[in-house]
Structure 1
Amino acid sequence: MPSPLFAERPSQQPPQRGQVDALISQTRRLRGEVDAVRRDAAADDDPRARWQRALCDLAVHQLDDLNAHLGQLKEGVPQQPSRRPDEESGPGARDGRPLGEEATGSLLTRVGSAEWNLLTDEVSWSDELYRIVGRSPGAGPMSLDELPTLVFVEDQPLLTRLVTDCLVDGKPIDGEFRVVRADGRVRTLHMAGEPVLDGEGRTASMWAVFRDVSELRRSERAVRESRESLRLRHEQDRAQQRLAVELQEAVLPAWRGPLRLAGDGPAPLDAAGHHLASGDAGRMGGDWYDVLELPDGSVLLSVGDLTGHGVSATSQTAMLLGALRGLALAGIRPGALLGHLNQLMEAAAQPALGSALCCHYDPATRTLTWAQAGHPAPLLFRDGTGRALDRPEGVLLGATASGAAYEEARVPLLPGDLLLLHTDGLTRGEAAVGADAPGAAERLLALAPRMARARDARDCVRMVVEETGGPERADDACVVAARVGDTA
């Protein structure tokens, strides 16, 4: 019923039927597209997937409501069909939730109306309002004094305030509250209404429209909860990333060197190392390097890469480095050392695979003894040219049972020779390419003329970083450079 309060306002012309039909068609088409996205959304425990699906559910409910409103606008004021007493029952009446086509937006089942005449105490309810609140039409409509008995105790003050403001101050009603149906089900209703004034400006009656928005609010609540779950997951991921970065930085300083090792020997070694972080902090991996001077004056150079990312990979890296240093200090040679590391990987609580390269340099004889476990060979630069050393046999750490043998190779070095050890992430771009892939090792070997002019090992590492580094790195990587010095 239109309110006389707005009788002096210019009336709006109703929309043309063709315009409404076009809007209905667009709404239905959009609803189908959103529903298709909802069906494709993964129904798993991933917070992001739950958030996406909740948003789709909310959009579907809102589009259903929009389609229903446009449908009512097209059809005009609906006729109130007479209903037999036996039509009050059924699943839709019992739970207050429409079935079939009605479940997707029919205003005849989701919107009801009422009017309270203050002069005659007459009350009229639409059939739909009885169905929404789960009240039998035989019980008759409820007065304004009785209406709060349907409402949640916590929401009763809100309803009282809305009705009082409408009757006393002439304010429009616009609010939501929860009702408890006779069958115990809880529904959320949105109430919109206005006072109707008589010719003398006094409140003669009040009318209201009640809309069941339970499903809509349920979808909105699901969106909020899934968004909060997603936020918590992001916070947890960031915390793990910070922990992984801190742990890796504690084990691997960004720059190490230049170090003058075996300084008292006939051929000291100038060494430097660097860790190149991934452009994505979430892909912090298990790449590592180490430069260790041993008690007998020799030097152990090593690099490696464990599978996995995050805290698990960095913690295993710390464990592996500790074991490697202990074995090296105990005098274990590179081949046997890798065998022990393989046993350690086999016995780890979290099995993983890893590649490794261990190089033992004896300054007294300028001899490099090295072994590898599925790792790219060292690059040797001499007199402005470079080559990859021939690899001895060796399988990945953790790939075989205990007892795997790792062969050793020996290479005599000359003063001025430069060794370059690296992991297989030294490529620029979105996708990581193995260092043994065509073109990867060649890029490093092409630096040979510049390496020959470098002042020290750290300068050589800087050249490699400039050539292969960048913010778009898909994976982290490590590099170690060691140059043989002249006789002390």
Structure 2
Amino acid sequence: MPPHVSADRSPAQPPGGGPVDALISQARRLRGGMDAVRRDAQGDASDPRGRWERALCDLAMRQLNDLDTHLAQLRDGPPPVPAAPSAAPRGSLLSRVGSAEWNLLTDEAAWSGELFRILGRDPAVPPLTLDELPSVVLDEDRPRLTAMVTDCLVDAKPIDGEFRIVRPDGAVRAVHMMGEPVLDADGGTASMWAVLRDVSELRLSQSAVRETRDSLHRHRHRAQTGHRLAVEPQEAALPPWRGFLRLPHRGRPGLDLAAHHLPSSTGTPAGFDWYDAMGLPDGDTLLGAGRLTGRGPDATTGAAMLLGALRGMAMAGARPEQLMTWLDQLLDATGQPAAGSAVCCRYRPATRTLTWAQAGHPAPLLFRGGTGRMLDAPDGVRLGTASGASYGQAEEILEPGDLLLLHTETPAPRCGSPRAGTAGREGRTATAADRLLGLAPRFIAARGAQECVRTVVEEFAGTGREDDACVLVARVTS
């Protein structure tokens, strides 16, 4: 605490201007930089993060303004006592600082001019004594003030606390008080000296920061909860195996399989992406991937139904073109407006023959000898979009070491131009396929399907995907 003096007496000499002026210059440079930051933070008012950033910048800017004002007061000395109370500018949070000294022997009080302004009292009227001071304090805050003053006068404890006062005009202001006892020659308490600061605007700004921060936290929690509610059912509907799967083929050439689901990085996806692989009774292997439109439980239920039907029909021996036709009829028969894309493959290890069909879905990518290419797609429209649609079928003979990659529509972010004859998602898929084909050298060097999948995840991680995606890799082992 500074040494006690009568509040209305000026100190003998204000601090030297040199060091204080240097601090003022530094504070103003910092304020200029903060002002630039605040202008950059002026974003969308509907964005919770933007509101929080602006509130925090406003608080910091006002505190820097007050620092500049305080340093100027330190350099120039205390202001004169006003002829009448007046309101200080609302742009400053901390500049309203007053002081007081209460003499316990004479019961007299001496206030600085600023304290009259803070409390809204006429300087022509005598200042309040310590006994009268609680009369301007809110009822619920009076015990706090009484306890602070008692501890100071009886136990010589410094005062450092906050309470609210009611001005004559009815305005409620928050006041922070710091004080200490002044002892006489015998060690007794002769008076109490205090500095009182109007912190109302500061508390409002701090409250705005807290409210916008809490709003941001609630917004993030809702987004995380919505994303979890969307993703967890989807993960549950996908095949029970994760990442790596070896299918028994009774000694015949087989496939090394791995797959991965890449969740959306920007929120709840507007669709359900899936993959599947399973061994069939005749020794063949079913491979598939696709996407079903919709959100929430309806999309999850529809995808689970579609996957169950796909597996059942494949187990019954249906060829890929039949699978596409029947899946299209199934979606049409449900009565719910849904559409989707899919690619289904049946691999026969005895002859290394891949038979496949597609319904408006990207064709599989085949990697061989250090390069990759997209397979020529047979005819096929999206599921659920054309009644009585028919689907074609294609065959490809694979070789030992070949790598087949199935992916859903857009593991890449929105970028690139659509190819001729394609639009929307198909255009973005071309860009994704190009990036996947560019991974050919890394796929050839990989030790297995799982390492190839990790390569894809690393390539597309953090790309700001608006939708989720799936990738399935099958490598011919012999």
TM-score past 0.5 threshold: yes
Could you tell me which of 389, 402, 409 is aligned with 2:393?
409
Q: Does 1:474 align with 2:462?
A: yes
Q: C-alpha separation between the residues in 2 aligned to 1:334 and 1:367?
A: 15
CA–CA distance in 2 between the matches of 1:129 and 1:152?
18
Of 386, 392, 408, the match for 2:378: 392
Partner of 2:208: 222
Using the size of structure 2 for normalisation, the TM-score is 0.73
- The letter for the 1-side match of 2:140 is E
The question of whether the paired residues in 2 share the 8 Å contact of 1:112 and 1:128 is answered with yes
Q: Match for residue 17 of structure 1?
A: 17
Q: 1:302 is aligned with what amino acid?
A: G
| AA of the residue aligned to 1:193 | G
Alignment partner of 1:203 is 2:189: yes
Q: Does 1:189 align with 2:175?
A: yes
Aligned partner letter, 1:37: V
How much does 1:72 deviate? 0.2
Number of the residue aligned with 1:377: 364
What is the match of residue 425 of structure 2? Answer: none
Aligned-residue identity in percent: 43
What is the CA distance between 1:73 and its match in structure 2? 0.8
- C-alpha displacement at 1:173, in angstroms? 2.3
The structure-2 alpha-carbon separation of the partners of 1:106 and 1:174, relative to structure 1 and needing over 3 Å to count, comes to closer
**Whole-Å separation in 1 of the counterparts to 2:289 and 2:441:** 18
8 Å contact kept, 2:62–2:91: no
**Alignment deviations for residues 259-295 of structure 1 (CA, whole Å, 9 cap, x no partner):** 247x7xxx97834542335599777975421124668
The question of whether the paired residues in 2 share the 8 Å contact of 1:175 and 1:192 is answered with yes
**2:407 is equivalent to residue 423 of structure 1:** yes
Match of 2:322 in 1: 333
Corresponding position: 1:147 with 2:140: no
Alpha carbons 1:116, 1:144 under 8 Å: kept: yes
Following the alignment from structure 1 to structure 2, what is the Cα–Cα distance between the partners of residues 412 and 164?
Answer: 93
Q: Give the distance between the partners of 1:208 and 1:66, measured in 2 at CA.
A: 20
* 1:133/1:467 CA distance change after superposition, 3 Å: closer
Q: How big is the shift at 1:304? A: 2.6
State the Cα distance separating 1:170 from its structure 2 match: 3.1
Deviation per CA, 1:78-136, whole angstroms, max 9, x where unpaired? 222434xxxx5xxx64xxxx33xx633683xx122333222322233334323322334
What is the one-letter code of the residue matched to 1:390? Answer: D
- Structure 2 distance, partners of 1:4, 1:412, is 96
Return closer, same or farther for 1:315/1:25 CA change in 2, 3 Å cut-off.
farther
Shift of 1:70: 0.2
1:223-244 Cα distance to aligned partner (Å, 9 max, x none):
3344444445555555556556
Unaligned runs of 5+ residues in structure 2 are 6-10, 417-427, 464-468
* RMSD across aligned positions (CA): 4.6
Q: Which shows bigger deviation, 28-37 or 171-180? A: 28-37
The separation in 2 between residues aligned to 1:235 and 1:47, in whole angstroms, is: 12
- 1:270 and 2:254 equivalent? yes
Gap change, CA 1:66 and 1:367, over 3 Å in 2: closer
Residue of structure 2 in register with 1:179 after alignment: 165
Count of aligned residue pairs for this structure pair? 441
Cα drift, residue 190 of structure 1: 0.9
Structure 1, unpaired ranges of 5+: 6-10, 452-458
Deviates more, 1:66-75 or 1:14-23: 14-23
1:137/1:334 Cα in 2 relative to 1: closer, same or farther (>3 Å)? same
Q: How does 1:70-469 map to 2 (within 5 A)?
A: 70-83=71-84, 88=85, 93=87, 98-99=88-89, 103-104=91-92, 107=95, 110-137=96-123, 140-236=126-222, 246-250=232-236, 251-252=238-239, 253-260=241-248, 270-271=254-255, 273-276=257-260, 278=262, 286-292=272-278, 300-305=286-291, 312=295, 316=299, 319-326=302-309, 329-330=312-313, 333-337=322-326, 339-340=328-329, 347=336, 355-360=341-346, 368-379=355-366, 387-394=373-380, 401-403=385-387, 405=389, 407-411=391-395, 413=397, 420-423=404-407, 437-438=433-434, 440-441=436-437, 443-444=439-440, 460-462=448-450, 464-465=452-453, 467-469=455-457
Question: Are residues 418 and 224 of structure 1, via their aligned partners in 2, closer, same or farther at CA, if it must alter by over 3 Å?
Answer: same
**Structure 1 length-normalised TM:** 0.72
Deviation sequence 1:26-49 (CA, Å, 0-9, x none): 222322332333343435344433
Greater CA drift, 190-199 or 230-239: 230-239
Given residue 115 of structure 1, which amino acid in structure 2 is its aligned partner? E
Do the aligned partners of 1:271 and 1:482 also contact (CA within 8 Å) in 2? Answer: yes
Please give the alpha-carbon distance, in whole angstroms, between the structure 1 residues aligned to 2:94 and 2:130: 27
